[in-house]
Amino acid sequence: MNALEATTRYFKRASKLLALDSKVERSLLIPFREIKVECTILKDDGTLASFVGFRVQHDNARGPMKGGIRYHPEVEPDEVNALAQLMTWKAAVTNVPYGGAKGGIGCSPRDLSIHELERLTRVFTQKIHDLIGVHTDVPAPDMGTNAQTMAWILDEYSKFHGYSPAIVTGKPVDLGGSLGRDAATGRGVVYALKALLADHGKSIAKQSYVIQGFGNVGSWIAQLVHEQGGKVKAISDVTGAVKNEAGLDIPALVKHAMETGGVQGFQGADALNPNELFAEDCDVLIPAALGGVLNGENAKDVRAKFVIEAANHPTDPQADEILAQKGVIVLPDIYANSGGVTVSYFEWVQNVQGFMWEEDKVNRELLRYMTKAYLNIKEMCNSHSCSLRMGAFSLGVSRVARATMLRGWEA
């Protein structure tokens, strides 16, 4: 089952729980707009290279569409569609006034020079600039992109529309980015985890952790959990996997990964077969990289008590069922990683108001949003006797459906 089929399946289950009208259900499912553009650039060696870029704008009932831009070789239309749909429910779960969108370019950023990445980003922006906007669709970073990518989009967009810092979030602080946005997705994951563990009479400090992905999201989770006394036993990224039964020295691993480009070769640990990562004995397993990594094949090997979905759609529906049968509690992506879009909203508000917040305020507000969303999801779980995933989907879908019906369909 691909990402779009999986996301649609969860949506339809939520729609059934909420007894949504079938016409409303259909209208919520079909994306508002799907954009596909060709992006050709001159490489540094003077040859041409062509890439395909996508932006799917899923729904705008609750406000401007919002979502990241991913640079990865596996970017393809169905996945972008699924990720855009997830953004719609995610923004509604965390209750920021946005709809959902997602974009991406099928490319391998590790194989492109910084100048090639800049050219590609600028060409992509030229192709979509009239379809995004401060009050229509606001991109942000995702896998393979970062604050620098957002700075190029801001600059290119501003050539057409005048200086527009609010056109992207997750940009450098020097260009109006929010303090705390860099860490926000990871910090939000840790706030979500804290709420879940507290519900089970546990705390961050007493648990052991295994994390897949050591990029923006994974590395912040590792640092924050480590700072709070948690034992991070194993981490993988695209270069390999490392393990230390006594706990990895996370600040040293961060330094190593920055210097060498990945976790492989870290001296303070043993090498681990990345395919065996999910079977490691731990309390909390955190996929923070690709989608669909937990599947019917490997879910049965999971030994963790909790799976926290920091990545988008890391667990396919077959794995979801296996984990439920094993009694593993899964905290779903549309809540667990919503700290990113929540602080993106704070960034956009600061840009629109022209007033910067202190980092303390950003983190305090993030904690408030994450805690409230957790309580709202639990209310849904209690009233519908369902899992955390279906509680989150039902919450998100019900809020979007209400906004859609209030706006009406009169042409």
154, 149, 58: which is closest to 98 by C-alpha? 58
Cα–Cα distance measured from residue 220 to residue 228, given in angstroms and rounded to the nearest whole number: 12
CB 274 within 8 A of CB 241: yes
Residues in 46-105 that interact with ligand AKG by CB under 6 A: 66-68, 87, 90
Of residues 128 through 147, those in contact with ligand NAI by CB under 6 A are 141-144
Q: Which does 144 bind (CB under 5 to 8 A by kind): ligand AKG, ligand NAI, none?
A: ligand NAI
Alpha-carbon torsion angle 196, 200, 205, 208, nearest 10 = -90
Around Cβ 37, how many Cβ atoms within 10 Å? 17
d(CA 257, CA 176): 28
**Out of ligand NAI, ligand AKG, none, which partner does residue 217 contact, by CB within 5 to 8 A per kind?**
ligand NAI
Please state the closest distance from residue 352 (CB atom) to ligand NAI, in A.
20
Find the binding residues for ligand NAI in span 6-65 (CB under 6 A): none
341 binds ligand AKG (CB under 6 A): yes
Q: Are strands 99-106 and 231-237 parallel, antiparallel or unpaired?
A: unpaired
Residues 226-245 touching ligand NAI, rule: CB under 6 A, are 236-238
CA dist 374 and 388 (Å) reads 9
Specify the DSSP class assigned to residue 96.
-
* Nearest Cα residue to 406 out of 63, 8, 32, 22: 63
Q: How far is the CB of 395 from ligand AKG (least distance, A)?
A: 16
Tell me how far apart the alpha carbons of residues 221 and 308 are, in angstroms, rounded to a whole number: 11
Per CB under 6 A, the list member of 65, 140, 284, 304 interacting with ligand AKG is 140
Q: State which amino acid sits at residue 94.
A: T
Q: How far apart are CA 34 and CA 388, in angstroms?
A: 30
Q: Is 127 a catalytic residue?
A: no
Residue 120 and residue 39 in contact, taking contact as beta carbons nearer than 8 Å: yes
Tell me whether residue 18 or residue 91 sits nearer to ligand NAI (CB atom).
91
Q: In whole angstroms, what separates CA 326 from the centre of its chain?
A: 26
Q: Which is nearer to ligand AKG, 103 or 106 (CB)?
A: 103
The interface partner of residue 67, options being ligand NAI, ligand AKG, none and the CB cut-off 5 to 8 Å by kind, is ligand AKG
Pick 195 or 211: Cβ nearer ligand NAI: 211
188 lies in the binding site for ligand AKG (CB under 6 A):
no
Choose from ligand AKG, ligand NAI, none: what does 289 bind? Cβ within 5-8 Å by kind. Answer: ligand NAI
The entry of ligand AKG, ligand NAI, none that residue 91 binds, CB within 5 to 8 Å by partner kind: none
Closer to ligand NAI by CB, 142 or 156: give it: 142
Pairwise CA distance, residues 388 & 372, whole Å: 14
Residues numbered 307 to 336 that lie near ligand AKG (CB under 6 A) are 312
Q: Does 344 bind ligand AKG (CB under 6 A)?
A: yes
Q: Which residue in the list 102, 171, 231, 233 is annotated as catalytic?
A: 102
CA 124 from centre of chain? 21
Helix (H) or strand (E) run with residue 333 in it = helix 333-336
CB atoms under 10 Å from CB of 270, counted, come to 11
Residue 99 is a binding residue for ligand NAI (CB under 6 A): no
**Which one of 41, 69, 147, 288 is in contact with ligand NAI (CB under 6 A)?**
288
**Residues making contact with ligand AKG (CB under 6 A):** 66-68, 87, 90, 140, 142, 169-170, 312, 337, 340-341, 344
Active site residues: 102
**Residues making contact with ligand NAI (CB under 6 A):** 68, 141-144, 185, 212-218, 236-238, 274, 288-290, 310-312, 337, 340
